[in-house]
Structure 1
């Protein structure tokens, strides 16, 4: 396959542009299945998560269809206006951040934010975190994806850390989650079991902050975001043939 190794800047976008070009050139026929994620990663010289994000971008733009348990297939191409315009490759804003890369950044930053919150959180701030967690539980029990409560929980921790730059950074992460790439990935991989696991992980973070145990709060937040990353990655491997 005529694929080329890509540079690291906005990696998933570069991969998507290569694959889009091959589709346009007829290298992949309509209805055909793309090579497995691991094969694409090997040929491109990149990580599997980067390939995964590129495929999600192509799905959002209408170039491919992801069939869970089967693979990624080329959709019919409509001449002229059948697809969203691809990114220009410049000035990536939060909505274009790769979801898995974003989660890795959150792990690094929010672990320290949780540790600071454990040191500085006041009773009222801890009560706000607890209220957000209760809202998450109520939504999950009602069969509603508890994204709003999830956001409120993490923002309450950031508010309690005592550093406005870190608070704004965490808010920016959540603004990025509203982008189409993260929304589509969430559609694929979020489900009741994943949210039940996340609720347990959130409770561990809250318990550590309530005890003002900075080390435990950092570890609990790291564990939560590592597990979230793994849930997304593991689900995609099942869907796109490992």
Structure 2
């Protein structure tokens, strides 16, 4: 089984990325049974625990169906974007609480970073942001790489402030931001009922404001970008609470 470019982050992410690509490219078809954990571990040259972690993540993403005693099968692609609560029904309450806290931090921190970056950015910063945007555009059909580019874009904005404290703060929160990005993107897609192209345009608009040294506009766009996910999260939590109260 062929593999992709250099491994991102950790081995399980690398396996997830490769299997996702095969499913999206119809190399692995809906209903097809995957090789056993033992065989996949040999093919990817990783431990069995890494394969199990990757398969569990893909199951949570709605891409695989793990049947006890039967094997792991590729699921039919959903016809519309799903709310993360549908993907993680058992774990969503704790995930939503954590995501809420992270979004509050991001909204305060990144809106300020966008404004400062518009005032302090260099041409090198603009080139870097532009390269990340091009990667997003070229890899729209690869959610794993798009997600990583999304994180890189926000980190690059912090770097463009040329404030080492802000840059270090964003770096220290990078893993938490990355862990929450999947839920953030899922909520964004769910709210928009749209595609990755729409999300790319939001990033492009933020880039244009920074490139044009329009700090106020960059701050407003970044605030709106993150606030949208917060609103969807709050709306769903309110609806869930109402249903629970009705049941009681």
CA pair 72-148 structure 1, distance change in 2 beyond 3 A: closer
Q: Which residue in the other structure is 2:106 paired with?
A: 106
Within a 5 Å distance, the mapping from 1:54-69 to structure 2 comes to: 68=86
Q: Which residue in the other structure is 2:228 paired with?
A: 227
Q: Which residue in the other structure is 2:34 paired with?
A: none
CA positional deviation for 1:175: 1.2
The answer as to 2:143 corresponding to 1:139 is: no
Q: Which residue in the other structure is 1:128 paired with?
A: 128
Which deviates more from structure 2 when the two are superposed, residues 226-235 or residues 202-211?
226-235
Deviations 1:205-234 (A, max 9, x none): 101011101111111111111113234445
CA positional deviation for 1:99: 1.2
CA pair 198-212 structure 1, distance change in 2 beyond 3 A: same
CA positional deviation for 1:150: 0.7
CA positional deviation for 1:125: 0.6
Highest RCO, 1 vs 2 (Cα 8 Å, sep ≥ 6): 1
Check conservation: 1:189, 1:236, Cα contact below 8 A. Answer: no
> Structure 2 length as normaliser, TM-score?
0.52
Q: Which residue in the other structure is 2:115 paired with?
A: 115
Q: Which residue in the other structure is 1:209 paired with?
A: 210
Within a 5 Å distance, the mapping from 1:33-182 to structure 2 comes to: 68=86, 98-140=98-140, 142-145=141-144, 146-179=146-179, 182=180
Q: Which residue in the other structure is 1:42 paired with?
A: none
CA positional deviation for 1:148: 1.2
CA positional deviation for 1:152: 1.3
Query: Cα RMSD between the aligned structures?
Result: 3.8
CA positional deviation for 1:174: 2.4
Cα separation, 2, equivalents of 1:150 and 1:73: 27
Cα separation, 2, equivalents of 1:195 and 1:159: 25
CA positional deviation for 1:204: 1.3
What is the SS of the residue equivalent to 1:68?
helix
Any gaps of 5 or more consecutive residues in structure 1? 1-58, 60-65, 75-94
Q: Which residue in the other structure is 2:219 paired with?
A: 218
Cα separation, 2, equivalents of 1:168 and 1:237: 35
> Structure 1 length as normaliser, TM-score?
0.53
